[in-house]
Structure 1
Amino acid sequence: MKTLLYLCLVGFTATTVPLKHDEVNYPRFVKLSDNDDVMQTVDLEEQPDTTLLEDIYRNPDNNRYLLYTRDNPLAPQTLQINNTFGVFFSKFHAWKPTVVIAHGWLSDQNTEVNIALTDAILRKSNVNVIVMEWRRLALSSYVTAVTGVPAVGRRLGQFLEFLHRATGAPFESMHLIGYSLGAHLVGNAGRELGGRVARITGLDPAGPLWNLNSNRLRSSDGIYVEVIHTDGGVLGQGIGSAIADADFFPNGGVSQPGCLTSFCHHKRAWELFASSVTYDHFLGRECSSMLQVSLNICHGKIFKMGNGDIRKRGSGLYRLNTGRRYPF
């Protein structure tokens, strides 16, 4: 059995992490962080921790699914896959829309993105919010985390399939939100479900080791897939190219007003989204090319960026300009 798991892991790793020549936009050593303004030096060519990955592959339920509702906005209940009894005696209600939040690298349950988005969403809408904590993998090296994201994402998809079977909660009322590495994670969850979830929002999806990675977030992962790009420069932490149905590039998508660091540019994606949930005030202007995005000369139709509308649909490239401070 151990040999079989190892062979599966080796094959999985080979298809998940692209060869280094695919990463044409990044040097070998880069500065990254999803949860700390102190940037970490990452070697994009290091070998992943196969011992940790093998254990995660063998025990996929190391992750936690933390349920918040308006009845328990601060004290979550833990849901478990295949524990129907636990779900029925929780505050989960199938008739409410379900919003899933997946954090990024070096993060856990208490990371700022989880707290801010959960608060904004529950203040605006009476929904189930499920924070997926995948800290065991997220606190490993960046290359190891990248390698394991697809498997963890698929397990999230299987958990949502369980909720659907156990409670009747429809995929058409599910919204998956992921920040940085979490964006690719929820993409894989949507793919596991055949692209049936209503909406996926990627908040500055991670760039290094994902440019030509077949497991990255893509438009077919949900009925409607939206991405907010905020740190897509040459050495930015996010993917700078369009990968979704609708791709928004606030302030050009490379740097953000009021920010002096890549970490600030990167996290501005979830800050803008949280603000959009509350105020629904960001108006993107459609662009015909990335050159128009960069030059801020877009003259197409207007389409709102962000918000929590589960029925939202649209496509194209969009540019908008924001302020320096909340609500931007």
Structure 2
Amino acid sequence: MPDGEDIPHLVDLQEEPDVELLTARDSNHNQYWLYTRSNPDTAQIITYEEKESITNSSYNGKKPIKVIVHGWNNDGNANVNRMVKTAILDTLDANVIVVDWKRLASSNYVSASNGIPAVGDHLGHFLTWLIDTAGGDWNEVHLIGFSLGAHAVGIAGRTTKRKPARVTALDPAGPLWVGNPHALNTSSAHYVEAIHTDGGFLGMSEALAHADFFPNSGKHPQPGCWISTCSHSRSYRLFASSIYTDHFVAKRCNDTTEAHNNQCNGSEFNMGNCDINKRGSGIYGLSTERKWPF
């Protein structure tokens, strides 16, 4: 499994979880890092149930809310956060909230995976408190998660006071999550989108959203990738690129078999972008290039 810089690490899926960590009173207390166009590079920490942390920040309830959640062995400074946050602020005047859940994320994979329900639940309660306290429009809330973070935002969307407008799942984690009742599903937002790039290994190959995209068959190797971790992280690189130019035109597939064989020729629907009003459904395939902007 990859860390925050896409370096692979050997994982034992039979390893015992860290029960002490999972049951610690503050084990689900995420950190919330706010970035806006006023502070695009230096995070402002918003602390749950501390109103002063909002009033002393650049948060503006009249602007859209974009939330990014990293995966295992990552933290708030992970590459996924940097790339997606920068792309959003370069193209949209928004509140970007990066969720840092490094205490659990830096534990073994089994522990981190078992802790995802608490991470997502806490995020859902945080967003409800934030909007109730400082304003915000649920129709302008977009949750974005990579790998384990994809399931965390799915849980958050099912926990919030009102349903978010959109969830984007970037290669949702596969190990320990196929058939998991806490996994991402279509009840997490009005529109749930998944981008699959390493299906069957680090990511899920199953369709689980309103719209599921399978670029380059949705599995390893993605063009220009030699190791699976590169294919896994390709999901957020494609998404970041799509925010700038929205150029990934996918075609509808009859089923996942067509998607996995990149043989889709149906109606067109764009993959990615940050359009909060985006709506659609189905399974889609497309081809991309080897290098940025792909």
Alignment TM class, shorter chain as reference:
over 0.9
Distance in 1 (CA, whole Å) between partners of 2:254 and 2:72 is: 33
The residue type paired with residue 205 of structure 1 is P
Query: Is structure 2 residue 213 aligned with structure 1 residue 248?
Result: yes
Query: Is structure 2 residue 180 aligned with structure 1 residue 213?
Result: yes
Which has the larger helix fraction? 1
Match of 2:16 in 1: 47
Deviates more, 1:193-202 or 1:241-250: 193-202
The residue type paired with residue 292 of structure 1 is E
Cα distance change of structure 1 residues 156 and 249 upon mapping to structure 2, 3 Å threshold? same
**Aligned-partner SS, 1:286:** strand
Q: CA deviation at 1:164?
A: 1.4
Deviates more, 1:168-177 or 1:242-251: 168-177
Name which of 108, 114, 117 aligns with 1:141: 108
The residue type paired with residue 154 of structure 2 is G
**Aligned-partner SS, 2:10:** strand
The residue type paired with residue 219 of structure 2 is V
Aligned residues: 293
Q: Contact 1:195–1:220 at 8 Å: present in 2 too?
A: no
Name which of 239, 264, 277 aligns with 1:311: 277
Q: How does 1:3-82 map to 2 (within 5 A)?
A: 32-55=1-24, 58-60=25-27, 62-82=29-49
Match of 1:259 in 2: 225
Q: Contact 1:195–1:221 at 8 Å: present in 2 too?
A: no
Unaligned residue ranges in structure 2 (runs of 5+): none
Cα distance change of structure 1 residues 119 and 203 upon mapping to structure 2, 3 Å threshold? same
Q: CA deviation at 1:124?
A: 0.5
The residue type paired with residue 249 of structure 1 is F
Match of 1:11 in 2: none
Distance in 1 (CA, whole Å) between partners of 2:284 and 2:28 is: 38
RMSD: 1.2
Distance in 2 (CA, whole Å) between partners of 1:221 and 1:41 is: 31
Cα distance change of structure 1 residues 158 and 60 upon mapping to structure 2, 3 Å threshold? farther
Cα distance change of structure 1 residues 80 and 37 upon mapping to structure 2, 3 Å threshold? closer
Cα distance change of structure 1 residues 37 and 198 upon mapping to structure 2, 3 Å threshold? closer
Name which of 61, 65, 71 aligns with 1:98: 65
Query: Is structure 2 residue 265 aligned with structure 1 residue 276?
Result: no
Q: Contact 1:195–1:222 at 8 Å: present in 2 too?
A: no
Distance in 1 (CA, whole Å) between partners of 2:181 and 2:202 is: 18
Q: CA deviation at 1:298?
A: 1.5
Q: CA deviation at 1:296?
A: 2.5
Structure 1 ranges of 4+ moved more than 3 A: none
**Aligned-partner SS, 2:290:** coil
The residue type paired with residue 189 of structure 1 is A
TM-score (normalised: structure 1): 0.87
Distance in 1 (CA, whole Å) between partners of 2:204 and 2:274 is: 23
Q: CA deviation at 1:39?
A: 2.1
Q: How does 1:114-125 map to 2 (within 5 A)?
A: 114-125=81-92
Distance in 1 (CA, whole Å) between partners of 2:6 and 2:149 is: 18
Distance in 1 (CA, whole Å) between partners of 2:168 and 2:218 is: 16
Query: Is structure 2 residue 261 aligned with structure 1 residue 290?
Result: no
Q: CA deviation at 1:297?
A: 2.4
Q: CA deviation at 1:196?
A: 0.5
Q: CA deviation at 1:37?
A: 4.1
**Aligned-partner SS, 1:186:** helix
Q: CA deviation at 1:83?
A: 1.4
Q: CA deviation at 1:133?
A: 0.3
Query: Is structure 2 residue 171 aligned with structure 1 residue 204?
Result: yes
The residue type paired with residue 88 of structure 2 is I
Match of 1:190 in 2: 157
Distance in 1 (CA, whole Å) between partners of 2:265 and 2:226 is: 29
